[in-house]
Structure 1
Amino acid sequence: MQQNPNALPDLTVVVPCYNERDNVRPLVDLLDKALAGIRWNVLFVDDDSPDGTAKEVRALARERGDVRLLHRVGRRGLAGACIEGILSSVSPVVAVMDGDLQHDETKLADMFAVLRDRSEVDLVIGSRHVEGGSASGGLSALREWGSDLATKLARRLLKISASDPMSGFFMIRRERFNEVVTDLQTQGFKILADMLAASRGRWNVAEVGYEFRTRQHGESKMDTAITLEFLGLILSRLTGGIFPIRLILFLMVGLSGVAVQLVAVRFALWATGFPFYIAQSFGVWVAMTSNFALNNILTYRDRMLRGLAWFRGLLSFYAVCFIGALANVGVAELLYETWPNWAVASFAGAVVGALWNFVASALVTWRMR
C-alpha cells in the first residue's frame, strides 16, 4: 500500500544492489506487509547494474512515492553504497538490508520497535547467532564455515562484542552513524564490522535473531576478492586506519609479485640459459604484468578495466612502475651515501617506490572516470 508521499518517513530502508532487477518489486511488496503502521521509504543504491536494476527501480518509483533510487556510475562496492545511501536519507532511523531477499524483512518491525521503545539503544543487528537466528538455510557448508571464521576474527581482533559483526542486516539511529562516517572505509563488503570498530565500544547494541534465507533470483557476490578485502579491513583497523584497505591490498599484490618474479627468473635461467640480467628483466616484466592483472581484479575491482582499456592500463602501469623503480634506486642510493647501511637504504627505497606506484597508478592507470 502506497503511503502519503508528503509525510517524512520514520524509517528508511537502504538496499545496496547489483544485478538484482528480479528482486526489486518482490522486495517492496514484502516491505509493504512487514512495515504496516510505520512511515517508511526504501532507497535502492544501484552500482550501474548491467541487468537493468536501476531501470526497474525508476519504473517502480514512478508508481509509488516511497521508492527512491541512487544510481552510482563509476563506483562499486557495498560499503560505499551503504554509506552514500544512509547519508542520502532524511529519516531518524535507517536500516540496511541486501536486495537478494535473504534477509528476513519481517524482523524490521521488531528492530524498529527496539529503537523506538529503548532510547539507550543505538544500533540493532539482525543476527544469525542469537536465539531465533540461523544461517544454515542461505549458506553452503563451506561459506558458513568461512563466515563463522570471519566472525571470530572480527570479534577477537577488533574487540567487538556483538555476536554477528559480519551481518549485512542492521538498523541504526542516523545521528549515531554520523558520528563515525568519516572514519569508515568505502571499500569492502563488511560495513557493520567497520562501524562497530569505529564506534570503539561506545554504542549500546541490541540483536534480533533472524534466519538467513536462500537466494531466489540472481547470483551471490561472494568471492575470493571479498575475503581478501575483509582481511584488508582487519589490517586497516589494527593500524588505526593509517593504511586504507586499498593500499593494503596493493601491498599484498606487490608481495605476490616478488614470488612471481623469483619463479619467472628461475624458469628463464633453467629453460633458456640466458644471462642473469636478461632472466632478471624477464622476471620483472612478468611480475609487473601479474601485479597489474591482480590489482585490476582485486585492489581496483570497483574501477576494473576491460577490453582495450585493459591494454592501455597495462602500458600505463608499466610506465608508472618504471618511474617507481627509478625512485626506488635513487632514494636508496642517496640514503646509502648518507648512512651506509644497505638494508635500511634498500628498504627505504622499496617503500618510496611502492608508495609512488600506489599513488601514481591510482591517478593514471585506475583514475576515476
Structure 2
Amino acid sequence: MYPFSSSGSGCGDMKPHNGKVVNTCTPEIYGLLPVPEGPLRISGEVPQPTDLDRPSILLSVAIPTFRESQNIPILIDRLTGLLDQVIPRQYELIVIDDDSPDRTWEVATNIATYYPQLRVMRRRGERGLSTAVIRGWQVALGEILAVIDADLQHPLDTILQLWSQIQSGADLAVASRHVSGGGVSDWSLARRILSRGAQMLGLMILPGVVGRVSDPMSGYFMLRRDTLANIDLNPVGYKILIEVLGRGRIANIQEVGYVFQERQEGYSKVTSRQYFEYLQHLLRLRIDNWPVGRFARFAVVGFSGLFVDMAIFYLLLDGWGLPLTLSAVLSAEMAIINNFIWNDQWTFRDLSRQQSGGHRKLKRLLKFNLICLMGLGLNVIILNLLVSVLGLNAYMAKLGAIAIVTFWNFWVNLKLSWRVTEVKP
C-alpha cells in the first residue's frame, strides 16, 4: 500500500515502480494540456508530437477524473508498470480533470515529471465524464484510443487483454461484467436490479445499439481511432460507450470479462441524476437515428385514418342504424385498412416493392392489423396510468397516449410488417 495521507487532499510521498520517491504536493506545477474547444470531433489525422526524439505513440488512454487525488498516483504507477511490459514508451496516459476541489489535476501534474507518458488536462468550463473522454481523445497521439475509470474499480491488468484483442483485429474491445470471467464484487440486490433495469431500458429504446455488447454501460474499453474519426459526437452523462456504439463505424467487437471492484478511496459519483442522463442519452441517440421523413408520412396517414373512422362511424350509426359497438368496430377496421393501403403505397413504398405478391401483401395487412389492435390496448393502459397514477387531465393524458402509441405503431410496423424478408439476391 502506498503511504498516502488519508486527509483527502491526496498529499503524501509515494514510491513508484521506477524506485523514485515522489511528493504529490510539491509546489511546482508542470505544463497542462490546452483544452480543445468547439465540436466534439476527433480528427482522423494523428497529431504530431512536439518531441521529435519520442517514439510514435500506439495507445492513448483517457482517464477522466473528479475528486480522485487519492487514487490517481496509484493508478498511474500501476498502469505504467503494465504497459511498459508490452509497449514501452509507445503509450500515453491522459488525465482529464474537471477542476476537482481536491486538486486532482495538481497531484497528476506534480507526478508527471516522473512518468514521461503522463499528460494532464484541467477543464474549467465543461463538466461530465463523456465529454472529458472525448476532449482527451482529441489531443491524443495514438491510433488506438482507450478509457478507464480513475477509481481503481476496474482491474488494471485487463487493459492488456483489451490491447491483445485490438492487436488481433478488433475495432472495439470492451471489458464486460456479463461474459465469462466477469462479475461484480459486492453489489446489493437493489444495485443489481438498477443496473440490469437500465440495460433492459436501453434494449427497448435502442436495440440495435445497446444489443451489440453484453455490457453497454461499461466505462472500460479500447477502440481504433478511425472508428470515430471526423464524426460529430454528442454524449450525455457518464455512458460514453453508448455514444461510441451509436455513432461509430464499428464492425468487429470483442469482449473481455472483468470483475468490478468496490471503491477503496475517494467519492462515488453514482446518483439518480446519472440514470436520468442515461435515459436522456438513449432518447437523443434514438431521435438522431430516427427516420424522420418516413415517420412524418406515417403520421399523416394516421391522421387521415381518423377522418375515415369518424365518417364511417357516423354513416353506420346514424345512416344505417347499426348498433354502437358494431359501428365502432367496423369503422375502426375500415380506418386500419385505409391506413395500411396508404402506408404500403407511400410510407413504406420502397420496402413493399421488395416484397411483391398478393400473399405477401396479405401478410403485411394481417401484421399491421394485429399491431394496431395491440396499440389500441396499449393506448388504454397508458391512458389509465397517466390519469390514475400521475393524475393528469384525461384529455391531456389521451393526447399523450396517442403520441406514444403512434411511435409504437410506426416502429413495430417498420420492424415487423414491412421488414424485408424472402428477397432473392
TM-score, with structure 1 as normaliser? 0.61
2:91 to 40, 44, 64: 40
Which residue of the partner structure matches residue 40 of structure 2?
A: none
Which residue of the partner structure matches residue 182 of structure 2?
A: 133
Q: CA deviation at 1:204?
A: 1.5
Q: 2-side partners of 1:205 and 1:47: how far apart?
A: 30
Say yes or no: does 1:123 pair with 2:172. Answer: yes
Q: 2-side partners of 1:126 and 1:227: how far apart?
A: 21
Which residue of the partner structure matches residue 234 of structure 2?
A: 185
CA separation of 1:241 and 1:16: change in aligned 2, threshold 3 A: farther
Which residue of the partner structure matches residue 107 of structure 1?
A: 158
Say yes or no: does 1:155 pair with 2:203. Answer: yes
Q: CA deviation at 1:241?
A: 6.3
The structure with the greater share of residues assigned to helix is 1
Which residue of the partner structure matches residue 280 of structure 2?
A: 232
Q: 2-side partners of 1:34 and 1:210: how far apart?
A: 16
Identity %: 34
Q: CA deviation at 1:116?
A: 1.1
2:105 to 54, 58, 63: 54
Which residue of the partner structure matches residue 23 of structure 1?
A: 71
* 1:2-58 Cα distance to aligned partner (Å, 9 max, x none): 7x9812221111100000001111001211232212132200000000001010011
Secondary structure at the aligned position of 2:255 is classed as strand
Q: CA deviation at 1:187?
A: 2.8
1:94 to 145, 148, 168: 145
Q: Is the 8 A contact 1:154 1:193 kept in 2?
A: no
2:114 to 63, 70, 88: 63
Q: Is the 8 A contact 2:236 2:280 kept in 1?
A: no
Moved over 6 A (4+): none
Q: 2-side partners of 1:37 and 1:149: how far apart?
A: 38
Q: Is the 8 A contact 1:27 1:99 kept in 2?
A: yes
Q: 2-side partners of 1:83 and 1:52: how far apart?
A: 21
Say yes or no: does 1:213 pair with 2:261. Answer: yes
Q: 1-side partners of 2:160 and 2:224: how far apart?
A: 15
* 1:291-335 Cα distance to aligned partner (Å, 9 max, x none): xxxxxxxxxxxxxxxxxxxxxxxxxxxxxxxxxxxxxxxxxxxxx
Q: 2-side partners of 1:141 and 1:51: how far apart?
A: 32
Which residue of the partner structure matches residue 77 of structure 1?
A: 128
Which residue of the partner structure matches residue 196 of structure 1?
A: 245
Which residue of the partner structure matches residue 6 of structure 1?
A: 54
CA separation of 1:140 and 1:85: change in aligned 2, threshold 3 A: farther
Secondary structure at the aligned position of 1:185 is classed as coil
Q: Is the 8 A contact 1:61 1:68 kept in 2?
A: yes
Q: Is the 8 A contact 2:235 2:243 kept in 1?
A: no
TM-score, with structure 2 as normaliser? 0.53
Which residue of the partner structure matches residue 219 of structure 2?
A: 168
Kindly name which structure, 1 or 2, has the bigger radius of gyration based on alpha carbons: 2
Secondary structure at the aligned position of 1:45 is classed as strand
Secondary structure at the aligned position of 2:142 is classed as coil
* 1:178-211 Cα distance to aligned partner (Å, 9 max, x none): 154x0x22431111012112237x4221100011
Secondary structure at the aligned position of 2:216 is classed as coil
Q: How many pairs align? A: 238
Q: CA deviation at 1:146?
A: 1.0
Q: Is the 8 A contact 2:68 2:150 kept in 1?
A: yes
Give the unaligned 5+ runs of structure 2: 1-16, 19-50, 291-394, 400-425
Give the unaligned 5+ runs of structure 1: 243-342, 348-369
Q: CA deviation at 1:136?
A: 3.5
Secondary structure at the aligned position of 1:147 is classed as helix
Secondary structure at the aligned position of 2:141 is classed as coil
Q: CA deviation at 1:114?
A: 1.1
Q: 2-side partners of 1:88 and 1:223: how far apart?
A: 30
Q: 1-side partners of 2:138 and 2:225: how far apart?
A: 8
Q: CA deviation at 1:117?
A: 2.1
Q: Is the 8 A contact 2:185 2:262 kept in 1?
A: no
Q: Is the 8 A contact 2:228 2:248 kept in 1?
A: no
Q: 2-side partners of 1:186 and 1:87: how far apart?
A: 15
CA separation of 1:199 and 1:64: change in aligned 2, threshold 3 A: closer
The residue type equivalent to 1:227 in the other structure is Y
